[in-house]
Amino acid sequence: MRAAYVDAPWTPGLPGLVNALSHPSTGSPFATLQAAHDYVGALPYGGSLYIPGGLYGVDTLPLFNGLEVSAKVRVFGDGAEKTILSLDGQDPSLHVVRLTSSRAKLSDMRLVGQDVTGTGRGVFIDPSGGSIIRHVELDNLLIQSTPSWGVYVGGHATDASQITILSSIRNCQIQDYKTNGAAYVGNACTTVDFDKVTFLGSSGNGTTGVAQVTVDGAWMTRFHNHCAFEHGLGADCPSLAWKPSVLSYAHGLSIEDCDFEHYYDGSAYWQIEVAPFDNGVQHGHLGGVHIQRNLFQRVTGTAARANQRVRALKITSGLNPVRGSTFAFNRMLENRTSDAAYNDEIYFDGINHEFALYSNDVWDTFSGTVRPLAIGNSYPSRVSRTADQSRYRMPPIAAASLPGSAVEGEIAANSTTHHLNENQGGAGWQPV
């Protein structure tokens, strides 16, 4: 699966439109792409910088050694196959593009990193200057070979003036990042939209345990319209991880009409992991998680990866609830070589889940049939399957440990009395 790239022709004669190869005063190329940007940024109402097709680097004219977009400027090229900005051989701490202004747009080009490990990012949206960044658009970009994150959307845990909001990443492909992951959305950011983005890993990419995409305390983050999460061999991490930050809670994660493809080789990770924990510290509760109409599959290529779990979704909420959320109309595709596989499609570990699970199914490639997805959401619970049998497991809890904060009507397995107990409100936990 690959994102499509569309060439963007340059239309001369529009106000504020500047060609990087033709200075308006001299007709000669700008000395650097940064100088071309700064010229456009100094215009009374901003404008657009056109970078014609070609490879731009440290030895070209205009020279390219990183671009800082600090004004209301649209920077665009002739498409990812033609306009290439490369930091190959340069300092691995450099970012290919750093955006520090609202209403900036970057489109129709390829951004190439240093192809070594380091701290440099492909696109760094950086609100640390103290102003909220709004309405940034990334469109039709191929971002590759970055030392660190391909796209990093900056936020802040306590300062609401240092966040990114109302921004979009569309029709992009992010691949071959050397450490960390493909994309990161930071603390307290809101309304960041990923539309038809491919996150592509390969052997040796990323950092073990760091998700391909991390949403860290952000609100109203959306992945839709066939975003593709593709792991390579040895990519030992989740496809997407979402958690509240040090703020009290976070809401609004939407994953709809996306494809998850993971090469598992004994990995302990799930394709989507949702948890309010950071280094073992519980921060808050989750809400508004909607995961719908997605395809989850794991690819079997060797005997070591046969008969392993689909591992679509893991929810870990501790003692705080997951509220107002749905997991619906998804399909899990199993690649098995026998009927003795033990499969866990969903794993809930926590209490007070208000999670509607319905109309999901598993396509079993061994038997050639579709079966309904078994459902479970208690404290803690697990949905398991061996051969053609499904079971619901409710691990026992000692009577003294039955949670006093439970909602009336909840059921728990009392390991002291060996009975199922129901929380009856004022009457507390009573045998069923």
CA 69 to chain centre: 24
Q: How many domains is the chain built from? A: 1
pLDDT in tens, 374-421: 443 333 333 333 333 344 455 577 888 887 755 677 777 888 888 888
Let me know if residue 408 belongs to a domain. Answer: yes
Let me know if residue 415 belongs to a domain. Answer: yes
Total length of the chain: 432
Helices (H) and strands (E) in the chain — how many of each? Answer: 1, 40
Let me know if residue 407 belongs to a domain. Answer: yes
**Beta carbons of 379 and 407 less than 8 angstroms apart:** no
User: What are the C-alpha distances in Å from 431 to residues 124, 153, 376, 415?
Assistant: 56, 50, 21, 12
The Cα–Cα gap between 104 and 34 comes to: 15
Residues 6+ apart with CB under 8 A from 381: 348, 349, 392, 393, 394, 395
The Cα–Cα gap between 17 and 19 comes to: 7
Enter the DSSP assignment of 304: G
The Cα–Cα gap between 304 and 191 comes to: 41
**Beta carbons of 30 and 56 less than 8 angstroms apart:** no
**Beta carbons of 318 and 355 less than 8 angstroms apart:** no
The Cα–Cα gap between 72 and 44 comes to: 10
> CA nearest 98: which of 59, 62, 130, 138?
138
Preceding amide of 403 cis, omega within 30: no
pLDDT in tens, 29-56: 999 999 999 999 999 888 999 999 999 9
Q: Which domain holds residue 431?
A: 399-432
Judge if pTM exceeds 0.85.
Answer: no
> CA nearest 47: which of 25, 20, 85?
20
Let me know if residue 405 belongs to a domain. Answer: yes
Q: Which two tokens stand for residue 70?
A: 């600090």
Let me know if residue 404 belongs to a domain. Answer: yes
Residue 338 neighbours by CB distance under 10 Å: 9
Residue 31 neighbours by CB distance under 10 Å: 12
Ranges of residues in the chain whose predicted pLDDT is under 50: 1-10, 233, 245-248, 266, 279-280, 301-307, 338-343, 351-352, 374-392
pLDDT in tens, 347-374: 665 544 556 665 666 665 555 556 555 4
Let me know if residue 422 belongs to a domain. Answer: yes
Q: Which helix (H) or strand (E) holds 362?
A: strand 361-364
Provide the pLDDT for residue 231. 74
**Beta carbons of 20 and 29 less than 8 angstroms apart:** yes
| 390-421 per-residue burial string, b: 16 or more CB within 10 A, e: under 16 | beeeeeebeeeebeeebeeebebbbeeeeeeb
**Beta carbons of 206 and 212 less than 8 angstroms apart:** yes
Long-range contacts of 279-283 (CB under 8 A, 24+ apart): 282/318, 282/319, 282/320, 283/217, 283/243, 283/244, 283/245, 283/246, 283/247, 283/248
Q: Which two tokens stand for residue 21?
A: 């190869």
**Beta carbons of 246 and 158 less than 8 angstroms apart:** yes
Let me know if residue 274 belongs to a domain. Answer: no
**Beta carbons of 344 and 384 less than 8 angstroms apart:** yes
Enter the DSSP assignment of 162: S
Q: Which helix (H) or strand (E) holds 325?
A: strand 322-328
Phi–psi pair at 269, nearest 5 degrees: -95, 155
CA 312 to chain centre: 15
The Cα–Cα gap between 398 and 282 comes to: 23
The Cα–Cα gap between 262 and 231 comes to: 5
Residue 261 neighbours by CB distance under 10 Å: 18
Let me know if residue 413 belongs to a domain. Answer: yes
> In a 3-state reduction of DSSP, which class is residue 225?
coil
